[in-house]
């Protein structure tokens, strides 16, 4: 069984208007204290072997490479990686990447970087509140190659206010021309409590309609497929051998531990999530008391519904024999009405051993997954 370790780095150089993650503007003293809290939480976790380590955020590279790499070493000592899988990912903001950073990352065992690009059109990146330039991204990819990192991912966003199908194509073309190994393409979502939510309430016409988002999504599917990227999950495209093993473990309903403010874990059927209050997290971690948060045991149909929802996100879909073996259920029988309805609508397809979303189904994935969950 795979086991993933996620570490949440909570600081960013600035806060983007669309972002709903647990993050705060960088302040050196808070960032130092937060790292102490992460260390304290790490040491309290039972040590065990892991398959992947993922440093996300926030922006992990608000910390200098020396500090980050020393932390990676401590995580590796506590959660030694198995022989068979050795993937350590760090998310980076391209404007903060320094010349030697990736060589240091590599020496600490990092194999993969995920670069927050969002767009190669500077007007669009400014609209998103980001300050990096296309030149920063090119330089970041080059430095990752020079450091011999095994995989480079670029995150892109479609449906940005002002984005056109032409500028979206240009962003995809640029990513492809950089010959990166992996592309994540996400539709912009309006998250409650963000500045974009307020703007959307005032001027919804500034944002892409569902039809435009669907058109952009289809452009991404076609262009990335033509360039040799396999769409192995709704939003994720990889060249052969470059899938994200860490994220695949989530979609396979595998176990993972999350360290840090707002981080989620899933172990022995229990899903838990830490408080999103930075102060509460740091105080609890440093004083050795349980970290506040919520947890629930996923059992019976609820557990299966979640597993189906995750599996449907993947190109492989829900493997009938694997579900029978792991959960003791016959998906086709137990979910017959949902499968029939969405297959008739052209959103699901079946073969002898799988149920999966069709291309049209991927455009309405939330609705289809929700229907499986509603039956639990």
Q: Which stretch binds ligand SF4 (CB under 6 A): 1-9, 18-26, 240-248, 316-324?
A: 18-26
Q: How many Å apart are CA 155 and CA 237, to the nearest integer?
A: 10
Q: Which stretch binds ligand SF4 (CB under 6 A): 17-25, 173-181, 287-295, 342-350?
A: 17-25
Q: Between 194 and 358, name the residue whose CB sits nearer to ligand SF4.
A: 194
In the numeric block, the tokens 């500034």 are attached to: 206
Q: How many Å apart are CA 3 and CA 326, to the nearest integer?
A: 17
Residue list 204-243, contact with ligand SF4 (CB under 6 A): none
Residue list 29-88, contact with ligand SF4 (CB under 6 A): 57-59
Rounded to a whole number of angstroms, the minimum distance from the CB of residue 375 to ligand SF4 is 34
Nearest residue to 372 via CA among 328, 339, 344: 339
Tokens standing for residue 176: 């492809």
Q: Which stretch binds ligand SF4 (CB under 6 A): 15-23, 276-284, 314-322, 331-339?
A: 15-23
Rounded to a whole number of angstroms, the minimum distance from the CB of residue 116 to ligand SF4 is 6
Question: Among all residues, whose Cβ is closest to ligand SF4?
Answer: 19
Q: Which stretch binds ligand SF4 (CB under 6 A): 14-22, 34-42, 138-146, 211-219?
A: 14-22
Contacts of 186 (CB under 8 A, 6+ apart): 155, 156, 157, 158, 235
- The yes or no reply on residue 263 touching ligand SF4 (CB under 6 A) is no
Q: Between 19 and 176, name the residue whose CB sits nearer to ligand SF4.
A: 19
Rounded to a whole number of angstroms, the minimum distance from the CB of residue 254 to ligand SF4 is 24
Rounded to a whole number of angstroms, the minimum distance from the CB of residue 23 to ligand SF4 is 5
Rounded to a whole number of angstroms, the minimum distance from the CB of residue 194 to ligand SF4 is 10
- The yes or no reply on residue 94 touching ligand SF4 (CB under 6 A) is no
Angular region, 100: left φ>0, alpha ψ -120 to 50, beta rest: alpha
- The yes or no reply on residue 197 touching ligand SF4 (CB under 6 A) is no
Rounded to a whole number of angstroms, the minimum distance from the CB of residue 192 to ligand SF4 is 15
Q: How many Å apart are CA 45 and CA 43, to the nearest integer?
A: 6
- The yes or no reply on residue 15 touching ligand SF4 (CB under 6 A) is yes
Q: Which stretch binds ligand SF4 (CB under 6 A): 10-18, 222-230, 307-315, 327-335?
A: 10-18
Tokens standing for residue 87: 């993937």
For residue 334, CA distances in Å to 253, 323, 350, 368 come to: 19, 12, 15, 16
Please pick, from the candidates 4, 7, 9, 23, the single residue that binds ligand SF4 as defined by CB under 6 A.
23
Helices 165-177 & 210-226 angle (0-180, nearest 10): 30
Give the ranges where the chain is alpha helix by DSSP (H): 28-44, 65-78, 101-107, 122-127, 134-146, 165-177, 195-202, 210-226, 245-251, 278-287, 300-312, 320-327, 331-334, 336-344, 359-363, 365-374
Q: Between 64 and 321, name the residue whose CB sits nearer to ligand SF4.
A: 64
- The yes or no reply on residue 116 touching ligand SF4 (CB under 6 A) is yes
Contacts of 255 (CB under 8 A, 6+ apart): 1, 2, 3, 4, 249, 266, 267, 268
Q: How many Å apart are CA 201 and CA 265, to the nearest integer?
A: 34
Q: How many residues bind ligand SF4 (CB under 6 A)?
A: 11
Residue pair 250/278 in contact by the 8 Å Cβ criterion: no
Rounded to a whole number of angstroms, the minimum distance from the CB of residue 175 to ligand SF4 is 18
Tokens standing for residue 12: 């960013």
Q: Between 23 and 356, name the residue whose CB sits nearer to ligand SF4.
A: 23
Rounded to a whole number of angstroms, the minimum distance from the CB of residue 196 to ligand SF4 is 11
The torsion angle over the Cα atoms of residues 62, 65, 70 and 74, rounded to 10 degrees, is: 60
Contacting residues toward ligand SF4, per CB under 6 A: 12, 15-16, 19, 21, 23, 57-59, 93, 116
């Amino acid at each position: 069984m795979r086991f993933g370790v996620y570490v949440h780095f909570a600081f960013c150089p600035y806060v983007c208007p669309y972002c709903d993650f647990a993050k705060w503007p960088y302040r050196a003293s808070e960032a130092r204290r937060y790292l102490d809290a992460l260390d304290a939480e790490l040491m309290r976790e039972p040590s065990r072997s892991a398959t992947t380590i993922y440093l996300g955020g926030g922006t992990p590279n608000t910390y200098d490479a020396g500090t980050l790499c020393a932390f990676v070493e401590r995580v590796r000592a506590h959660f030694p990686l198995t022989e068979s899988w050795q993937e350590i990912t760090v998310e980076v903001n391209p404007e903060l990447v320094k010349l030697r950073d990736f060589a240091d990352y590599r020496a600490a065992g990092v194999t993969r970087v995920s670069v927050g690009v969002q767009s190669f059109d500077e007007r669009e990146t400014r609209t998103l509140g980001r300050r990096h330039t296309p030149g920063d991204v090119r330089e970041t990819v080059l430095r990752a190659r020079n450091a011999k990192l095994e995989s480079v991912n670029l995150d892109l966003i479609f449906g940005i206010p002002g984005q056109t199908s032409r500028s979206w194509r240009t962003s995809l073309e640029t990513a492809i021309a950089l010959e990166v190994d992996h592309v994540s393409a996400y539709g912009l979502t309006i998250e409650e409590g963000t500045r974009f939510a307020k703007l959307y309430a005032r001027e919804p016409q500034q944002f892409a309609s569902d039809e435009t988002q669907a058109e952009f999504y289809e452009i991404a599917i076609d262009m990335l497929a033509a360039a040799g990227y396999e769409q192995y999950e709704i939003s994720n495209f990889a060249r052969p051998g470059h899938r994200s093993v860490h994220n695949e473990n989530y979609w396979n309903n595998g176990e993972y531990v999350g360290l840090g403010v707002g981080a989620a874990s899933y172990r022995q059927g229990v899903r838990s999530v830490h408080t999103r209050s930075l102060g509460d997290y740091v105080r609890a971690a440093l004083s050795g008391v349980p970290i506040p948060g919520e947890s629930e045991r996923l059992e019976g149909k609820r557990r299966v519904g979640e597993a189906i929802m995750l599996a449907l996100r993947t190109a492989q879909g829900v493997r009938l024999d694997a579900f029978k073996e792991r959960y003791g259920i016959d998906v086709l029988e137990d979910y017959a009405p949902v499968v029939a309805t969405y297959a008739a609508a052209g959103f699901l397809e079946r073969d002898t051993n799988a149920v999966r979303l069709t291309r049209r189904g991927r455009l309405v994935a939330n609705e289809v997954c929700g229907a499986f969950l509603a039956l639990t």
